[in-house]
Amino acid sequence: MILVFATPEEGRELLRLSTRQPEIVRPQTSGPCVHYGLYGCEVPREDGQCPHLDNASIVCPIKDALGAAQAYAPAEPESVEPEPDDGALHTYTVPATRKPTNPNAWSDEEEEVIRRARNAKEAVTLYYGAYPQSSRTYAAVQSRWYRLRAAGELAAPEPDEDPVFAVPRPAYRPGDRVRIVHPLHRGHTGEIVRYFPATENYLVAIDGMPDMIVLTDAQMEAA
């Protein structure tokens, strides 16, 4: 026979009447925490808190981390006070945007030639006489003349100008030899076949080619 002297609770534990494992709390006043074992902290309290959290004499890496977490206070966000409004209007300089240059813009010199013409047809003759290498079309020159006329920017005729002598005369006659300066056949030579007074154009036969081309006197020069 074995006699067991135990309290009722210890008796139940010994007889396996309770599934709870026995908890042994060893009192201590300082030194390494007795609850910290090989597998971490073996805290005996039901709330999971360290029984020695307030005792600075007992050291434990878990207790130190818990104490640091409770003592940490998040820093308040830094507030930036707005500048006082004095009620005055404040201006700010914005860099100017550089506008792209339009390569097709008409220059003052070009418009000066066109505004001297009395009609759109004469504007073409005067313009190509001054700018034989220009890539502008007849329609563009005539449209510019109409725009200048609508704006009232055409040059006024001289008071003593005789309209009889202002009529343009043909610079070339049929049979004359010419050299073409038009970009399409620049450098080729040819012969004047016919002159059209209504349009002030010439029909030119190009040397060595079966084609003929209609040109103005500004698009040719004497060969």
Task: Convert 157-173 into a string of H (helix), E (strand) and C (coil).
Answer: CCCCCCHHHHCCCCCCC
Predicted model pTM: 0.30
Whether residue 202 contacts residue 192, with contact meaning beta carbons closer than 8 Å, is answered with yes
Stated as kind and residue range, the H or E segment containing 37 is: strand 36-37
Query: Residue 159's pLDDT is what?
Result: 55
Q: Show the domains of the chain with their CATH numbers.
A: 29-69 (no CATH), 108-156 (no CATH), 171-222 (2.30.30.30)
Per-residue pLDDT of the chain (223 residues), as tens digits, is 566 566 666 666 666 654 555 555 567 778 888 777 766 777 765 666 777 777 778 888 776 666 666 565 556 666 666 666 666 666 656 566 555 567 789 999 999 999 999 999 999 999 998 898 888 998 899 999 999 998 888 887 655 555 444 445 678 888 999 999 988 888 899 999 999 887 889 999 999 888 888 998 888 888 8
Could you tell me which residues come within 8 angstroms of residue 13 by beta carbon, excluding any fewer than 6 positions away? 22
Query: Residue 199's pLDDT is what?
Result: 82
Could you tell me which residues come within 8 angstroms of residue 223 by beta carbon, excluding any fewer than 6 positions away? 177, 178, 179, 189
Distance CA 126, CA 118 (A): 10
Cα dist from 14 to 10, 21, 44, whole Å? 6, 10, 19
